[in-house]
Structure 1
Amino acid sequence: MVKTGDPLARARLLLQMSRPADAERELRGLLAEEPQHVGAHALLGLALVQQDRTGEALEESGEAVRLAPDDWMPHYLSGQVHYMAGLIEEAARASAAGIALQPEYAPLWELLARVHMKRRNWVQMAECARYGLRIEPEDADLAALLAIALTMLGEHEQARAAAAQAVANDPESVRAHWALGRAALAAGDPRTAAESFREVLRLNPGFESARDCLVIALKERNPVQRTLSRLRQRFVGGWRLLFLLPALPPVILVFVIIALLHWAAWIAESWTTLRLARAKATRLLFERAAARVSMLCLGLAGAGAILVGLGVGLGWEELGLAGAATMALVTPVQEAAHTGSPAGRRVLYGWAVLLAVVALGAMVTSAFPPALLAVYAALGTIWIAAGVRKIFRPRQEV
């Protein structure tokens, strides 16, 4: 039972304890006595949005701003309500209005930094975090936000320093350890990243993004996987290169090298994932689907290699080419598995099945051209998948 003489103080404490329904009761009781209490309206908006009652929350926060337009606090709480409701532009306007009235309140700069993070405006996010830190140098959340912005800007050393400072300021901060893990992973230090993400999950076991990043960090501790993964990310090849093919046919060699590089990286990914998914210490981090996809890809690579060997040994070119097409299917299967949108995954899995049917038909009928086209199409799925992901975007990106 929360005991204090001030209902507004009780409501604040209840909100800190993640008890918004109890906070709402306190605030409605206060408003029954004082219908124009600015703080009660503002905090009630926060309590309501935490209960997913967005319309009521916006009404209450709007009423608080209407009652006290020259007070920075209603603008700040309105910004929080809009931010939690996913109304980012409105949150930006509210936080900017609060800053105009009270520029020396660090949480306002933190809110605006989070708004810029949603907008993916990394430079502005870093500027807001730095300004807030000038006001509150020991604020762990602001230091963590600065570290995330610097990570996204590629300033890895500064990002790690800011994240380390955030952890030092508050060793129990989930955001601080998350920022340190992100910075370490981007800087090529998967061991430190894995330790940080484990700490995030200790503090907040339901943090799914940390679980995903821990899996990535564990995979990248394999030097082969790490090298191939970074090469794959660096050498993608733009679709505009296609326009150079008529004028510069040798450019096709660039496409072949990039496609083979991605294929090798997916093989390494499959091996690393299957090994970690079977290890006692890490298997709980992996869904069964990930292990099944990895096993399928390694099976395709093995079966294709056997067919290639038989084709070479028997002098049967069509069989060898069908084997190469089977091995190449690793790319479309992994591209489908690593697509965030369910609709995009279905499209790419359908594409993989179509290529598998073509490869099988070519092997049965000893047809050379379809088998060759299946090889090219499978390896070239990296560009098809890029287009599919642009069309079918996941609702929420990490």
Structure 2
Amino acid sequence: MLLNAKRYHEARVEYLNAIGSDPEHAWAHCRLGVCFALLGTRDEALEHAFKGIRLMPEWAGTHYQLAWILNHLGEKKEAERSVRDALTREPHFTEAFVLLAWIYLDRDRLEEGIVAAEQAIELDPGCAEAFNIQGIATLQLGKLDDAEKALTTALRIEPENPTSHANLGYVFLHRGDWRTAEMHFRNALRLDPNFQYALLGYKEILRGKHPVIRWIIEQRLWFDRQPRGFGLFALGILLIVIYAIAFLLRAFTEAGN
């Protein structure tokens, strides 16, 4: 409860007391590791996570906690390895599939992230977070209809989820439906006033009040939805056009002389 309330220092004391009472309390070591990770103390976080695994090496939960810590610390490759260790021990571990999906998204492996999210949904059709991951991944792939479907489902499961509202805001922003996008960003900020992801989207809406700025944003959003490699292709075309214009101008100048 203290961790969910972001009272990390108090949670740390609570788990330290639990370990003081029972030094071989594997779960307390793992959760203490999470506290240290959230407090930005890497070495202590990993020390307690590995201690939990040594105490209960065959329990999927200890490997999952280590994977969460590694992912939070930005060590994605090691996090993937640890979450797979958890799934080896418990193949029906919904939270582990969700974490694996996030890791794939962070590593720009979007299709694999969608598959991992689908595996979580098969185990728990009410997992709003998995639908959110699907929505984010399909949005990044430019599949706006699939993104809207997944995120609408997430919102139906958890109507007061600021992440679902923010993600839907970006879907409608990409569609050019600025009014609906603004509504979802406002709802996200109503639920979490400090939600930076939603705040960035809402600022785009405010900047887009100017028609020229809106046109620029819309072109950028369109560009973002194009397949990988499109940017290099477009840059190549642009350079060819610039070179052709320069060549023609030079030819006209020489002809005039």
Aligned pair partner of 2:202 in 208, 214, 218: 214
Write the letter of the residue equivalent to 1:213: G
Which structure has more relative contact order (CA 8 Å, sep 6+)? It is 2
Please list every run of 5 or more consecutive structure 1 residues that lacks an aligned counterpart in the other structure: 1-12, 254-398
The match for 1:149 is: 137
Asked if 2 retains the 8 angstrom alpha-carbon contact of 1:190 and 1:218, the reply is no
Q: How far apart, CA to CA, are the structure 2 residues paired with 1:48 and 1:26?
A: 13
**What SS does structure 1 have at the residue aligned with 2:65?**
helix
Q: Deviations over 1:161-210 (max 9, x none)?
A: 11111111111212111221122222222221111111111111112232
Note the residue ranges of structure 2 that are not aligned, 5 or more in a row.
Answer: 224-229, 249-257
SS at match of 1:78: helix
- Superposed CA deviations along residues 205-228 of structure 1, whole A, max 9, x for unmatched, are 112232121122344466665445
Work out whether residues 176 and 218 of structure 2, in 8 Å CA contact, stay in contact via their aligned partners in 1.
no
Q: Do the aligned partners of 1:24 and 1:47 also contact (CA within 8 Å) in 2?
A: yes
- Equivalent in 171, 188, 194 of residue 182 of structure 2: 194
Distance 2:204 2:159 in 1: 23
Which one-letter code corresponds to 1:238 in the other structure? Answer: L
One-letter amino acid of the structure 2 residue matched with residue 147 of structure 1: G
Q: For residue 227 of structure 2, what is the aligned residue in structure 1?
A: none
1:39 aligns with 2:27: yes
Matches within 5 A, 1:7-156: 13-156=1-144
Q: Structure 1 length as normaliser, TM-score?
A: 0.55
Aligned-partner Cα distance in 1 for 2:241–2:180: 43
Counterpart secondary structure, 2:2: helix
Distance 2:12 2:87 in 1: 27
Which of 235, 240, 248 aligns to 1:238? It is 235
Q: Find the counterpart in structure 2 of residue 170 from structure 1.
A: 158
The alpha-carbon deviation at position 49 of structure 1 amounts to: 1.4
Q: Which amino acid aligns with 1:112?
A: L
Q: State the TM-score, normalizing by the size of structure 2.
A: 0.83
| Per-residue deviation, 1:99 | 1.4
Distance 2:10 2:216 in 1: 53
Looking at structure 1, the residues matched to 3 and 33 of structure 2 have their Cα atoms a distance apart, in angstroms, of: 11
Q: Which has the larger radius of gyration?
A: 1
3-state SS of the aligned residue for 2:3?
A: helix
Report the RMSD for the aligned CA atoms in angstroms: 2.5
Aligned residue type for 1:27 = Y
- Are the equivalent residues in 2 in contact too, given 1:80–1:111 (CA < 8 A)? yes
